[in-house]
Amino acid sequence: MGGGLAGAPLAAAVSAAGGLGTVGLVPDPRAFAAELRRARDRVGGRPLAANLLVPFLRRGHVDACLACGVDAVVLFCGRAPGAVARLRAAGVVVLQQVGTVSQARRALADGADGLIAQGAEAGGHVLGVEPTLAALTRLLAVGGDAPVLAAGGIAGRAAARAALDAGAAAVVAGTRFLLTDECRAHPEYKARALGATRTLRTLLFSAGWADPHRVLPNAATDRWCTPGARGPAPALLLNRALAPAVRRLPPSVARHQRLGLPFFSPAPPLAGADPRFLEIAPLYAGVCAREIDRVVPAAEAVALLDPT
């Protein structure tokens, strides 16, 4: 979970509980490096991973991963063969999250050590186009000897067990860890996600980004995603045209957004944000939010996912 949701406290707590804690990317490489250092200090010798969102990737992000000695990196939404080569040369395991067979083949051709099969149930930015177990089956067929992990709609041990029984090497969870004490999401964001019965897949929050995302409804989606969920066509075209420039802007520009102008940043609302931001920011969540009825410590979330 990028944008500040998954920082050092969450990553360290997950690793301490026996999972693979992951620090999410933030646009500023220096801030990202500082967060990785804090996580490394907390986890000691336990494994630590970093998530690199390719549309926002800079050389400094890879430098930070190497300097902080992360054990694994997850790439998402795009290709970065140069980064893969640098990371693998340093002994870092590189996984790439993909949603289709063609994306999987490209990731393996670029040198990825393994794949994460993302299903359409996933929250946040979504590459998956079919249910998680169906995507897993297709990607296992092209993965060869490479491990294939499963992501999307996994919030408890039954879903984790089903994915492992279907051939997944491991499972990846986002929404379950969104709803933990250590996640930096705004408290009201967490409250809205608990037991949420409705999410929608849209392109509304795509300033600087070209891929769809699954979010909870808010004032922005109510205004701009009815009757279609994608968002207003002129705004989507503007988002795509301005994407390279917008990616270089600081996250603080999101505070200037207005409901009446459908040009919304992908930055989620963090703890301490103006509550007004909850209505114009993406509230990322997967369909499995409906299964989660409480916010728990990250260590308990890991235990709830244990399929044994």
> pLDDT tens across 17-54, in order?
999 999 999 999 999 999 999 999 999 889 999 999 99
Structure-token match 């620090």, residue found: 23
* Average pLDDT of the residues of the chain: 91
- Would you state the pLDDT for residue 136? 97
- Would you state the pLDDT for residue 270? 95
| Rounded-to-integer distance, Cα 26 and Cα 238, Å | 23
Alpha carbon of residue 143 to chain centroid: 22
Question: Judging by DSSP bridges, how do beta strands 114-118 and 72-76 pair with one another?
Answer: unpaired
CATH topology of domain 8-183+292-305: TIM Barrel (3.20.20)
Q: Tokens standing for 207?
A: 């300033």
Spans of all domains in the chain: 8-183+292-305, 200-284
CA atoms within a 13 Å half-sphere pointing along the CA-CB vector of 204: 32
Q: Tokens standing for 9?
A: 């406290």
- Would you state the pLDDT for residue 253? 58
**Which segments in the chain show pLDDT lower than 70?**
208, 227-229, 231-256
- Would you state the pLDDT for residue 229? 63
Structure-token match 């390279």, residue found: 244
| Rounded-to-integer distance, Cα 278 and Cα 281, Å | 6
Q: Can you list the positions of beta strands (E) in 8-155? A: 21-23, 48-53, 72-76, 93-98, 114-118, 124-125, 148-151
- Would you state the pLDDT for residue 205? 86
| Rounded-to-integer distance, Cα 227 and Cα 102, Å | 31
Sheet holding 124-125, edge to edge: 124-125, 213-215, 200-202
Q: Tokens standing for 184?
A: 């930096």
Sheet holding 48-53, edge to edge: 21-23, 48-53, 72-76, 93-98, 114-118, 148-151, 171-172
